[in-house]
């Protein structure tokens, strides 16, 4: 399970709220009624340009996958990754773009290995006639100008399959959760505050004896107050009575590197990172210095 924390700092993806440099600052000329209107379907229909300006900044290819992304590719290569579930949003008032960035796929994970709870740029469709569109069609429109919308032949707007506020989660999410979590024998949770449901509640979908590892800058997802019988506790338990939950406090990249050191996989991880850097060619508009330093 991956949250925005695996990408936001390591990739240096701009945040939304920082004065002057945040992505919302770039949208000031559009006079949004409130910042996260850019991720609401109703506002998108009436004024799509703010979203497409952000799409140009966040489109796949702008940022190099992080060591954490390559760690997931390493798990996949070893036949150990059942599925990677990703989440994008921190809470309703703050929409993080990380994890709609398709960095898992850029790192080499096949589409079948990933379940994007809030969607990503890997597919797109017209919001009017629902016709699917190739992402290259969207890319050509987005990079033709700042805030340039993408249209379907029917005249409707083409939107990447990113879950906007008020939209339902993808069917694939609901299909895979009961199958994958019941089959898992280890759960690794990376870079998420675990406050948005239903994603946050997934940590309780694995079996009661399945080990769970949280790698995060702060403790998240702890059980609510009160003591429940073994196997019935909701959330992580890092205190008394803990028999399966482990915690690493720090950056995700540092956490997965330490795990690889303990497993004897560090050289393999470094090889994947080096290969990813060698084949990374960001578009010319990418801010200087950001892309090359992404996996430092």
Instruction: Point out the residues that are catalytic.
Output: 118
Listed in sequence order, the residues at least 6 apart from 70 whose beta carbon sits closer than 8 Å to its beta carbon are 107, 108, 269, 272, 273, 276, 295
Contact call for residues 162 and 171 (beta carbons, < 8 A): no
DSSP structure string for 15-29: -SSSTTTSHHHHTGG
Rounded-to-integer distance, Cα 20 and Cα 7, Å: 21
Task: Give the three-class secondary structure for 84.
Answer: strand
Q: Which helix H or strand E contains 85, and what residues bound it?
A: strand 84-86
**Residues facing residue 214 across a β-bridge:** 189, 247
84 assigned binding-site residue: no
Tokens 């060698």 — which residue?
Answer: 278
The token pair at 57 is: 């900044």
150 assigned binding-site residue: yes
- C-alpha angle 207/236/232, rounded to 5°? 50
Task: Give the three-class secondary structure for 214.
Answer: strand
Residues annotated within the binding site for Zn(2+) are 126, 129, 150, 154
Residues annotated within the binding site are 126, 129, 150, 154
């Amino acid at each position: 399970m991956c949250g925005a924390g695996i990408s936001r700092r390591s990739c240096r993806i701009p945040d939304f709220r920082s004065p002057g440099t945040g992505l919302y600052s770039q949208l000031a000329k559009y006079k949004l009624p409130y910042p996260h209107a850019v991720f609401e379907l109703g506002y998108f229909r009436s004024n799509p340009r703010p979203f497409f300006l952000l799409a140009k900044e966040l489109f796949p290819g702008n940022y190099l996958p992080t060591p954490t992304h390559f760690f997931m590719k390493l798990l996949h290569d070893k036949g150990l990754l059942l599925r990677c579930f990703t989440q994008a949003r921190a809470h309703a008032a703050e929409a993080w773009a990380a994890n709609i960035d398709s960095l898992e796929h850029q790192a080499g994970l096949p589409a079948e290995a990933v379940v994007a709870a809030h969607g990503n740029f890997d597919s797109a469709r017209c919001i009017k006639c629902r016709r699917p569109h190739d992402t290259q069609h969207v890319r050509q429109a987005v990079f033709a100008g700042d805030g340039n919308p993408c249209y379907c032949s029917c005249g409707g707007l083409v939107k990447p399959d990113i879950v906007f506020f008020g939209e339902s989660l993808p069917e694939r999410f609901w299909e895979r959760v009961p199958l994958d979590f019941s089959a898992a024998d280890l759960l690794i949770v990376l870079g998420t505050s675990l406050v948005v449901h239903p994603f946050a509640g997934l940590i309780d979908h694995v079996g009661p004896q399945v080990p769970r590892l949280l790698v995060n800058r702060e403790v998240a997802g702890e059980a609510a107050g009160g003591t429940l019988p073994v196997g019935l506790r909701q959330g992580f338990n890092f205190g008394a009575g803990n028999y399966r939950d482990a915690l690493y406090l720090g950056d995700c990249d540092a956490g997965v590197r330490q795990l690889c050191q303990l497993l004897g996989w560090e050289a393999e991880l470094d090889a994947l990172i080096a290969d990813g850097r060698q084949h990374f060619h960001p578009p010319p508009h990418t801010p200087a210095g950001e892309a090359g330093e992404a996996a430092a």
